[in-house]
């Protein structure tokens, strides 16, 4: 996957979390990561490799064993942080993708 993230200014951190969500069937959301990075003024291009985490793989295998072809997405939230406090959180989401046997 590739993505582009843009910031105005620098000198602060961006903290974020990542979750995998089952879109069909609904009801499963598994937080798989968190971290922080330095904000850089302007836009940055990122390349991501999204290996399926073991907890997510377990749920996917169960869904497929039940005869489903589940639809999943990866979503995250990023929040700017300065010494003076947190800014407004923004969320992102991948296009849904189908899991097939």
pLDDT at 101 over 80: no
pLDDT at 43 over 80: yes
Q: Confidence band (pLDDT; 50, 70, 90) for 85?
A: confident
Mean pLDDT (whole number) for 62-77:
95
Sign of the C-alpha dihedral, residues 55, 56, 57, 58? positive
Q: What is the pLDDT of residue 51?
A: 87
- CA–CA dist 41, 7 (Å, integer): 5
Distance of CA 47 to the CA centre of its chain: 13
Domains of the chain: 2-98 (2.60.40)
- CA–CA dist 93, 4 (Å, integer): 13
What share of the chain in percent tops pLDDT 90?
A: 67
Q: Give this prediction's pTM.
A: 0.83
Q: What is the pLDDT of residue 1?
A: 75
Q: Confidence band (pLDDT; 50, 70, 90) for 47?
A: confident
């Amino acid at each position: 996957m590739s993505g582009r993230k843009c910031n105005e200014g620098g000198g602060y951190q961006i903290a974020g979390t990542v979750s995998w969500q089952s879109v069909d069937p609904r009801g499963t959301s598994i937080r798989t990561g968190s971290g922080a990075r330095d904000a850089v003024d302007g836009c940055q291009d990122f390349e991501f490799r999204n290996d399926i985490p073991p907890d997510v793989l377990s749920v996917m295998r169960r869904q497929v064993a039940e005869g489903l072809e589940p639809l999943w997405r990866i979503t995250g939230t990023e929040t700017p942080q300065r010494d003076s406090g947190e800014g407004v959180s923004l969320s992102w989401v991948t296009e849904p993708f189908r899991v097939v046997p």
